[in-house]
Amino acid sequence: MPELPEVEVVRRGLERWVSGRVVAAVEVLHPRAVRRHPAGPADFADRLTGHQLGAARRRGKYLWLPLEPLTGTGAPTQAVLAHLGMSGQLLVQPQGSPDEKHLRVRVRFADATATELRFVDQRTFGGLSLHDTVEGDPDGLPDVIAHIARDPLDPAFDDAAFHTALRGRRTTIKRALLDQSLISGVGNIYADEALWRTRLHYERPTASLTRPRTTELLTHIREVMAEALAVGGTSFDSLYVNVNGESGYFDRSLDAYGREDEPCRRCGTPIRRRPWMNRSSYFCPHCQRPPR
């Protein structure tokens, strides 16, 4: 499953290679890839054709391209949402280059740039779908993801409102970090890393967090994500835009995640792993004391 930094790399690639181009034709090679579009593949293709694609946007791990209105100005009323699923890739390829084995959708453009956009997905959990946007939203936010909170790298993320929301909930901090209605884009790995940096146990009740602790936690989340982005962002300058669910970040030394029984880099105490909501939580039992 791609994490936010990988999705941001894809967004930058789309922004550079696809935004601003006019769709000339859409070919759906596998209906499952557009199954979230109830009117079917032909309707999906028809509706996209002729539209100029707007600026590539992202909220958490959700990625979309608004369709510029065909006539007049104003906010986009339709947007294409990309679900990458487990194995989805968006590739910008030269026209005529051999089709990928798992090519599902091809988008051709009405300009002289001899490249096309391809959605490739081995396991077909992902797909593309067309949605109405939240009325008047300048970014063309698809209505189906209107409930997803902004992510902490978004300039419009509201730190104070996030703290207030944490204080008002009867939940624990790691559950809150993975709750997309509070904050988006923080996956299991980034949560464990940020909690280790902040010396917070994952079961800490959010109602007990002080304002400075919330601020410290957000700072560490942003640092972890920025570092991952710096490492994972190496490929977005190339023509080949892809996401494969991995990033260079996983090659670098993580401080907590995946380090069971290895010494904490701060205090030397062995890192522990605990089952947590069908996943694992890694933490230092000395630096991250469990709540009483």
Q: Is 286 in the site for Zn ion (CB under 5 A)?
A: yes
Q: Which stretch binds Zn ion (CB under 5 A): 62-70, 131-139, 208-216, 259-267?
A: 259-267
Is 91 or 264 the residue whose CB approaches Zn ion more closely?
264
Residue with tokens 């789309």: 14
Per-residue buried b or exposed e for 4-30, using 16+ beta carbons within 10 Å of the residue's own CB: bbbbbbbbbbbbebbbebebeebebeb
Half-sphere exposure of 171 (CA within 13 A, CB side): 12
162 three-state secondary structure: helix
Q: Is 264 in the site for Zn ion (CB under 5 A)?
A: yes
Q: How far is the CB of 264 from Zn ion (least distance, A)?
A: 3
Is 104 or 272 the residue whose CB approaches Zn ion more closely?
272
Gap between the Cα atoms of 109 and 95, Å rounded: 10
Q: Is 267 in the site for Zn ion (CB under 5 A)?
A: yes
Per CB under 5 A, contacts with Zn ion among 99-138 are: none
Q: How far is the CB of 280 from Zn ion (least distance, A)?
A: 17
DSSP assignment of 185-224: S--HHHHHHHHHHHT--TT-BGGG--HHHHHHHHHHHHHH
Is 186 or 287 the residue whose CB approaches Zn ion more closely?
287
279 counts as catalytic: yes
Is residue 274 within 8 Å of 281, Cβ to Cβ? Answer: yes
38 counts as catalytic: no
CA distance to 28, 185, 211, per residue, from 6 (Å): 25, 11, 30
Is 90 or 287 the residue whose CB approaches Zn ion more closely?
287
CA distance to 171, 186, 206, 273, per residue, from 257 (Å): 22, 14, 21, 9
CA 58 distance to own-chain centroid: 7
Per CB under 5 A, contacts with Zn ion among 216-235 are: none
174 counts as catalytic: no
Is 3 or 255 the residue whose CB approaches Zn ion more closely?
255
Q: Is 273 in the site for Zn ion (CB under 5 A)?
A: no
227 counts as catalytic: no
Catalytic residue among 36, 274, 279, 285: 279
Within 60-202, where are the H helices?
Answer: 159-167, 173-177, 188-198
Catalytic residue among 11, 61, 118, 204: 61
Q: How far is the CB of 193 from Zn ion (least distance, A)?
A: 13
Q: Which stretch binds Zn ion (CB under 5 A): 46-54, 65-73, 176-184, 267-275?
A: 267-275
Q: Is 254 in the site for Zn ion (CB under 5 A)?
A: no
What residues act catalytically?
2-3, 61, 279
**Binding footprint of Zn ion on the chain (CB under 5 A):** 264, 266-267, 269, 284, 286-287
